[in-house]
Amino acid sequence: MFVDDYGTRDLYATDAEDVGLRSVAVSLGENQKRKARVRRWHEGQARRGIAHTGGRVFGYRPTEGRPGKIEVVPQEADVIRRAVAACIEGKSLASIVRLFQASGLETEKGGPWRCQTVRQIISSPRNAGLRILGEKCDVLRDGDGEPVIGEWEAIISPADWELVAARYPRRHRGDRANARSASGVSARKYLCSGLLRCGKSVDGRMCNGLLVGFSTEKDSRSRSKYRYSCRPSGDGGCGGVSIAGEVIDKAVSDAVLEMLERRPVAQSEPWSGEAALADTIRRRDAFEARWSNGDESDERFYRLSTLLDQNVDVLRMAKADYEYSQAMSSQLVRERWFVPVGEGGLDLDRKRSIILAELSTVLIYPVGKGTQKRPPGSIRMVPRSAGLAA
């Protein structure tokens, strides 16, 4: 039995599927109506020039005693004006970041000033009293094509903002969504992305910044196709460590494969979804039996049988994936690790899942300038069980 706001339901009744489908349709319809109402409300606020006050932003703060109003923070606005002037003069983003660092002001969350944060602040249309709306975050314009001016005080002029926006165009939400995988996490291009950390000593402490992968195919002086490097000092790192991507990917792969081979073979556990699969198959077969006996109409059978078959197929695929992962020995992993995906090799996501299950991080220490070979102690693997402090 199932109980909700509409009463008690028998999930095994003959009309249970129909009632469930109608409830889902009603819920989806209500969600669409609610989204449409919220979208219309935001559009009305924007066209009236009312600021979006969803959170605290650098340069402005909510006006005390006046809900929905914002006011300029003088100290923060001064930094924004100097940063915009430096941007218009053509100075580098790193030098603009140093203006924020030298101001002594903190970010909204108290973290270090980074290039991305500063770029978003100085390129915000809010600084010029302009309002954005829509998925593409475009500046809202009236019927004559003129920008809608907000009712809050501007920090810079619209002309200065256009110069900054031309240098640092805003990314659309759709662009960020396309760069993410189905799980909602940014898709990775390189094997060790998010795993490598800088081991250089800066001011008596380890930098510990994440190394970022980037392509070097257009650099004729580079012997590698891609590299991992620490971010520059103006972007939260020190810029003191860099390593060829092929070298560290091979070293990490060999270390993880050796860890898998040294591990004793564990007794595999049964798949946890076996009961759900058996119950789904039983319900599908019972539905088909009722149709065969004439207790279900043809329309109802052909409408719901496809859905029931899909549920069975999804569970069977999950079971097959689980049994495959349990059956994969360390020898099979090694055989498929360096084979192209088209020839049966492991793809990037599966390799990364295996690596991240074994390693917490990999510390890369500096070895000086030049192309000298890295000594063994310049790369330190930290197993998952040991943690970063090991």
Confidence of residue 115 (pLDDT cuts 50, 70, 90): confident
In a domain, 185, yes or no: no
Write out pLDDT tens, residues 136-169. Answer: 567 777 777 777 787 888 899 988 988 998 888 8
Same domain for 16 and 68?
no
Same domain for 106 and 135?
yes
Q: Give me the domain span that covers residue 13.
A: 2-46
List beta partners, residue 198.
364
In a domain, 54, yes or no: no
Task: Calculate the CA 8 to chain-centre distance.
Answer: 41
Q: Which amino acid is at 359?
A: L
CA–CA distance, 304 with 52 (Å, rounded to integer)? 45
Same domain for 293 and 352?
no
In a domain, 116, yes or no: yes
CA–CA distance, 19 with 2 (Å, rounded to integer)? 12
In this prediction, residue 84 carries a pLDDT of 93
- The torsion angles phi and psi of 8, rounded to 5 degrees, stand at -100, 135
Q: What residues have CB less than 8 Å from 347, skipping those under 6 apart?
A: 341
Whether the predicted pLDDT of 300 surpasses 80: no
CA–CA distance, 152 with 156 (Å, rounded to integer)? 12
In a domain, 362, yes or no: yes
Point out the domain boundary residue: 151, 178, 205. 178
Question: Which among 63, 60, 65 is positioned nearest to 80, based on CA atoms?
Answer: 60
Q: What is the DSSP letter of 127?
A: G
Write out pLDDT tens, residues 335-345. Answer: 888 888 888 88
Same domain for 86 and 171?
yes
C-alpha distances in angstroms, 366 versus 198, 236, 387?
8, 17, 21
Region label for 194, one of left (φ > 0), alpha (ψ between -120 and 50) or beta (otherwise): left
Same domain for 127 and 69?
yes
CATH of the domain at 106: 3.90.1750.20
Write out pLDDT tens, residues 370-384. Answer: 656 778 788 999 997
In this prediction, residue 390 carries a pLDDT of 37
Same domain for 85 and 174?
yes
Write out pLDDT tens, residues 8-45. Answer: 777 787 777 777 777 777 777 777 887 788 778 777 77
CA–CA distance, 168 with 361 (Å, rounded to integer)? 33
Which of 221-255 are b and which e, b meaning 16 or more Cβ less than 10 Å from the residue's Cβ?
eeebebbbbbbbbbbbbbbbbebbbebbbebbbeb
Write out pLDDT tens, residues 54-111. Answer: 667 888 888 887 777 888 899 999 999 999 999 999 998 888 988 998 888 888 777 7
Same domain for 355 and 238?
yes
Domain count for the chain: 4
Same domain for 242 and 155?
no
Write out pLDDT tens, residues 273-293. Answer: 888 889 999 988 888 888 778
Same domain for 216 and 152?
no
Q: Check if the beta carbon of residue 253 is closer than 8 Å to that of residue 213.
A: no
pTM: predicted TM-score of the whole model, two decimal places: 0.56
C-alpha distances in angstroms, 54 versus 65, 83, 224?
17, 25, 45
Same domain for 87 and 149?
yes
Collapse the DSSP code of 226 into the 3-class scheme (helix H, G, I; strand E, B; otherwise coil) and give the result.
strand
Q: Check if the beta carbon of residue 371 is closer than 8 Å to that of residue 247.
A: no
Confidence of residue 266 (pLDDT cuts 50, 70, 90): low
Same domain for 166 and 79?
yes
In this prediction, residue 194 carries a pLDDT of 87
Q: Check if the beta carbon of residue 147 is closer than 8 Å to that of residue 140.
A: yes
In a domain, 293, yes or no: yes
In a domain, 166, yes or no: yes
pLDDT, the chain, mean = 80
CA–CA distance, 240 with 125 (Å, rounded to integer)? 35
In a domain, 183, yes or no: no
Same domain for 174 and 319?
no
In a domain, 290, yes or no: yes
| Angle at alpha carbon of residue 217, lines to 212 and 221, rounded to 5° | 100
